[in-house]
Every structure is written in C-alpha cells, then in structure tokens.
Structure 1
Amino acid sequence: MAQLAFQPAYEAEKALQPAKVCVTGVTGFVAGSVVARLLELGHTVHGTCRDPSRTDTVAHLQSLPGAAERLKLFKADLLAEGSFDEAVSGCAFVIHTASPYIMNVPAAEVQAKLLDPAVKGTENILSAASKSPSVKRVVLTSSCAAIYGDPHEFGKDHVYTEADWNPTASKQVLPYYYSKKLAEERAWEMAKAQSQWKLVAINPAVILGPPLSKRTDSESINLINTFLKGKAYPACPHMGFGTVDVRDVAAAHTLAMSHPKAEGRYITVAKSMWFQEMARAIKAAFPDSKFRPPITTAPKWLLAVIGPAVGLSRDLINYAVGKCPQFNNSKIQAELGFKFHSPEAAIKDQVDAMLALGIAKPF
C-alpha cells in the first residue's frame, strides 16, 4: 500500500521492535492512517471503537495488509469507566485519537457532546494505561485548537509555538477548540501525577489527504466536498488555517511513539493556507475538470447571514474571518527529524480517493 511509500519509515520506527499498540477511535479519519502505518511497521494493534460488529465502519481496517493477523478490535465507550482496560492491557504503547470532532454543536449540547467525551474519555484511557504495567508511552492526538482560538489573540504577527495555549475558547465560544484544550490539559495533569508512562501530544490543524473509508462525517471530507459541490463559488470565506496531510499526521504519531527522545507537544502543520488557496489547489490538480474555484471572498456581513446554512459557525465568522494563523513547526523537525509533505498534494490525493470511494461526485 502507499502509506510508507508516501512517508517512509524513520530510523526510530525501524529500530523499534514490533509491539502491541492500542489505538482508540479506530474508525476515525486520522486513526485509519495510524492503524495502516502501525500494521505496515509490523506492530500488533488493539483498536477500540463503539461497535466492532458494524462492518460498514470497520471493513476498511480489516482489509488492510497485516490486519487479519495483527488487528484486534475492542468495543469501548469514551464515557464508560473501565471501558478501555481490556484493549490497553498488555500494550506497550497507547495512541489516543478518539474525541468528538464537531464544529457546530447547539449550546445546550456542548457539555454532553463535546466536553464530557473529550475530557472523560482522556481520563478513562489514561487510567487504563496506568492500570496496565506494560504501557510505557502514550501519544495523544490533540490539536492546534488547543493552541489558539482567535488567530490574532496575541497580535496579528504572532507565530504560534508549542508554548501557546488557547486563551479565547470557552464553553460558549469555540466549544470544539475548548474541548481539545481541556482534554490536553487534563492529559498533562494525569501524566505528571505518575511515572510509569510518558506522554507526547501531537497538535495538527486542518487535516487533509486520502480517507480510507466511506465515512462522510469527517470535517475534512466535508470541507473538500463544500468546494467540489460549488458552495464556495463565486465567493468563499476569507479565512485561513494550518494544513497538514493525514499521512504526515499518522507518521508523526508513530514516530513520537518510537523515538526515544520524543517529549512534550509537537505542532504538526506543514503550512497555513487560505480557503481560496485550497480551492485553487483543486483546480490546479484537476485542470480539465469543470470545477470553478472562488473568484473572490465573501464579506463578513454576508457570511453572518449565510454562514450557518453552509456549516460555518458564528464563532468562526466572528474570530477567523480575515485572519490566517501562522505556526512554527521547527520542534518536530529538529527533535524527531520529521519531514512534511505538500498540502496541495494531499488535496489532490484526497479528491482522488473521495471519487474512488464514491463519497464525492465527478466534477
């Protein structure tokens, strides 16, 4: 398969003897690529999901090379205490990717749908790690949402580093961002309260690249489909985000798991892009298509009117329009020898994969 051909195994990954690795939330967009890479590296994977018997959500994992011999699925619930104990037992490593990724949540449901699963899920998985003496390292899928909220909150020229923590988000403002901040903070609290296992956090921004499954509830899939369906034509929001290939994110997790010197947080962002640049990348990759990239950007007042109807939350309109955060990604490169790939190539591969899987229509 193309996983390691795209992002070859690092020396630290090659040097690590095959081990048992628990990956939570294996049906998710990021976790699929993490599982594929772990299997290709020769590890045995204990994957958790809400319902392993649902073949429509796990078939793509079970068909991966090595899965028949080295992938075992476990039923687990983020909110159920002890739910992860069996899956984690006997594992040397835990990669915790499971957490709700929902940008638009009604205010009355934020606690139940975002904050509780993110924080209590983290508590439950780390408690399971502490119960299993075999666990020596935990890699947490955090987010740049834990690092910033308003791109200009520290000044318009601020470049974000791993030292930054989101000061803007709250239960009422950018609640998804807040859920990621609270979950990572809780993880560091629990890590510092024990000495058995070491914690490393991976902090990506907008993740692009080829999905492995036909699931369409991923925000990354929704973003590209928004462009492909013409919802950003003739005008798109004037806002930008950090971007990174999902295969790079998977490699960052497995390298952070394998590298003896990995520690702390790692911003995992290849570069920042404006929405309009993402759309132009689609056209550049498919020049003979009928796809029309936006020719201008929509004014903020118009976005306030139509934004919610196209999935753009009022918080993003209030805090992100006209802004594009910048990130310093040197730590992961300097400490782990990590190499980033082009987000434009990730976009092309994502569209190709979405078309092949039937979750995007020819354009």
Structure 2
Amino acid sequence: MSQLSFQPAYDAEKALQPATVCVTGVTGFVAGSVVSRLLELGHTVHGTCRDPSRTDTVAHLTSLPGAAERLKLFKADLLSEGSFDEPVRGCDYVIHTASPFIMDVPEAEVQAKLLGPAVKGTEHVLSAASKSPSVKRVVLTSSCAAIYGDPWEFGKDHVYTEADWNPTATAKVLPYYYSKKLAEQKAWEMSKAQSQWTLVVINPAAILGPPLSKRTDSESISLLNQILKGRAYPACPHMGFGAVDVRDVAAAHTLAMSDPKAEGRYICVAKSMLMCDMARAIKAGFPNSKFRTPIATAPKWLLSIIGPAVGMPRDLITYALGKCPQFNNSKIQSELGFKFHSPEAAIKDQVDAMLALGIAKPF
C-alpha cells in the first residue's frame, strides 16, 4: 500500500510545487515513510544516514518508486559539526527525524548515547539550515516524551496539550524522554534566534504500523515482537500510552512542511491505549494464530519480571504503572484538517509486515 493510497494528499500538499527536501536519519522507522510520501508527491529528497554505501540498510529506500531519479543519499553524523551542510545545501525544506531512540540506557552512557547526539544533532542540522539561504521551513520530529513523563504529573484527569512540557524527566530519570525535551528546546531556541526559516514540530507518541525494512529503530517493533514471542504471556503490565500510525506521522510531517498555516507544535496521537488493548488488537487481527498474546493484566509484583522482559526500563514502569496519559489532538485537526487512522488497524498492518519481513515468526 502506497503512502498516498493510505493517507491521501492534502490540498496544501497538492498545491506545493516540487521541492528539494533534506530528510535526516532516512534509515529510521518514521523517516522511511516520510521519504516514501515525499517521493510520491513528486519531491526530490536529500537523505542522510551514517553509511549510504550499506545496501542492507538503504535498499528499501533506493527501491521506492521515484527513488532512482529523485533520491540522493549523503553520509552525515549527528555529532559531526558541518556534516549536514552538504545535504541541506540548496534544499527548500528540512525534515529532521534523526535522533537516538534507546529507551534503556545505562546511566554512565546517557550523555554519550542519548543527550549528546540528540541535542548536538539538532544544533548541527539547524545550523546547516541557516547556512543555506534556500531553506524556508524546518519540520522537527519531537515526541510526546517532550510533553510528559509521569502520565499523572499534572493530576489524574489532566489532558496534555501542546502547551505542556515534561517536568519529570532528567538525565537519571526517563533519560530518553529528557533527550527529546532538550532537543526540542534547542530547536526552538535556534529558531527564535533567526528569521530565515520557520520551525514546525511534530510530537507523536507510540508509533505503530508497517516498517519498510527489517532493520528498524522502532521501539514498537521490539515491543510487539516480544508480545508475539509470548514474553508478556499470560499477563501484561497495566499501563498506557498514546498511539498513532507511522503513515499518519509521515503525513503530519509532509503536511506541516507544505501548509503555510502550520506553526508551533502538533500533538500527533490518534488515541490512548493500554498495553492490553494492543494485545487484544493482535488477537483480533490474527484470530487463528498461535501467538501467545497476554490474556490478563499483571499484578504489581509480576511487573519487575514482565516489564524488563518486554523491553521496558524500570523507571518507565515506576512512573507509568496503572496510568494512561490522555492527549488533546484537536490542534492538528482544526488547523491543518488532519485525519487520523485506527491504531488497531496499524497493529494488524505492522504484524503483517513484520511477518513478511521475517522480523516476527508465525507460531
């Protein structure tokens, strides 16, 4: 299924003349769908990754329709000052998706593996945008992790909006969340210090849906795979999260790039789900399978075993246990006319793709 058949082009996307767009971190889960959509819309893409010569990591991109004519790959590193100058040069837009996505990092490695690359990478990409007079707008992939840490930190009934910033995360507590907050704050700081380009930020939560490649950085791929393998059987942790289809996230980026009205931050969440809802979606999508999906919610005493087994850091369990954040997603819908798809359908498509790519195995 193509990006545009799943999420048809919006009027603002159709109205935008073919442009040159730099997409950072093109081998990532979100970036793959962004590149696919940009090529379908007729744009030229300058994609950055660590090693364009590694065909095993870029073949799914170079085989996309339009890639032979309009996709050029560049080597760039988040920590290398100036490495984004060449790929950004001459571009009309920059979509910055590249950032470390590691939920469980030893404390001694947080600065080197998370905070440094996230913040310095943002600084280097936006500096490159300022060096290229052609750049009109930067779209940054942030996260709802920059918006909240403890789902109930502002009270049990609080509904998160674009005005909220995560007050809980630090370098020692939920460090991945902290990296997203610091990187986005750095982007806004740099945006306000210049007048050449505008900044629009997309804040998704848990991103679901089909990967384009078996080599993906998606935590949802890892989480679903652990569930499919029976690591959460017979019971899963009682905790929730915002959920959104990766194809919707891609469309949010390209629409934010295209629409002159787009401004500020946009929460990109279709709805909130509990982990048991995810398990039920797998069961409903594959009723005849032998996947050992959870059939109950785990008592608290089991979480110290089950949580880490499905890839959840202990601090995430500590703050998220028994809670589910709620989000107001009306801004992107009212300002940009955006429409969300079902996360349950995204889970079905994701498992189908994982099976087809060999990421998951049928049982």
> Shorter-chain TM-score: which interval?
over 0.9
Give the corresponding residue for 1:197.
197
Please list, as runs of the form range in 1=range in 2, the aligned pairs for 1:1-363 lying within 5 A after superposition: 1-363=1-363
| Paired AA for residue 40 in structure 1 | E
C-alpha distance in structure 1 between counterparts of 2:338 and 2:217, whole Å: 29
C-alpha distance in structure 1 between counterparts of 2:19 and 2:216, whole Å: 32
Q: Which has the larger displacement, 286-295 or 87-96?
A: 286-295
C-alpha distance in structure 1 between counterparts of 2:229 and 2:64, whole Å: 30
- For normalisation by structure 1, the TM-score amounts to 0.99
1:170–1:4 CA distance, 2 compared to 1 (3 A)? same
C-alpha distance in structure 2 between counterparts of 1:194 and 1:113, whole Å: 29
SS at the partner of 2:213?
A: coil
C-alpha distance in structure 1 between counterparts of 2:58 and 2:292, whole Å: 35
SS at the partner of 1:346?
A: helix
Q: Which has the larger displacement, 303-312 or 192-201?
A: 303-312
Q: Percent identity over the alignment? A: 86
C-alpha distance in structure 2 between counterparts of 1:289 and 1:300, whole Å: 29
Cα distance, 1:294 vs structure 2: 1.5
C-alpha distance in structure 1 between counterparts of 2:48 and 2:129, whole Å: 14
Cα contact 1:276–1:294 (8 A) shared by 2: yes
| Paired AA for residue 191 in structure 1 | S
SS at the partner of 1:38?
A: helix
C-alpha distance in structure 1 between counterparts of 2:217 and 2:124, whole Å: 25
Cα contact 2:232–2:310 (8 A) shared by 1: no
Cα contact 2:227–2:310 (8 A) shared by 1: no
Cα distance, 1:298 vs structure 2: 1.6
Aligned length: 363
Cα contact 1:276–1:293 (8 A) shared by 2: no
| Paired AA for residue 89 in structure 1 | R
Cα contact 2:222–2:311 (8 A) shared by 1: no
Cα distance, 1:216 vs structure 2: 4.8
Cα contact 1:243–1:343 (8 A) shared by 2: yes
1:306–1:286 CA distance, 2 compared to 1 (3 A)? closer
C-alpha distance in structure 2 between counterparts of 1:160 and 1:226, whole Å: 29
C-alpha distance in structure 1 between counterparts of 2:110 and 2:301, whole Å: 26
Cα distance, 1:292 vs structure 2: 3.7
| Paired AA for residue 204 in structure 2 | P
C-alpha distance in structure 1 between counterparts of 2:26 and 2:361, whole Å: 26
Cα distance, 1:290 vs structure 2: 1.5
Which consecutive segments of 4 or more residues in structure 1 shift more than 2 A?
299-302, 304-310
SS at the partner of 1:324?
A: coil
Cα contact 2:90–2:134 (8 A) shared by 1: yes
**Superposition CA RMSD, Å:** 0.9
Cα contact 1:238–1:298 (8 A) shared by 2: yes
5+ residue gaps in structure 1?
A: none
C-alpha distance in structure 1 between counterparts of 2:339 and 2:216, whole Å: 29
| Paired AA for residue 70 in structure 1 | R
CA displacement, residues 189-232 of structure 1 (integer Å, 9 cap, x when unaligned): 00000000000000000000000011154212101101111111
| Paired AA for residue 78 in structure 1 | L
Cα distance, 1:301 vs structure 2: 2.7
Cα distance, 1:288 vs structure 2: 1.2
Cα contact 1:216–1:359 (8 A) shared by 2: no
Cα distance, 1:257 vs structure 2: 0.1
SS at the partner of 2:129?
A: helix
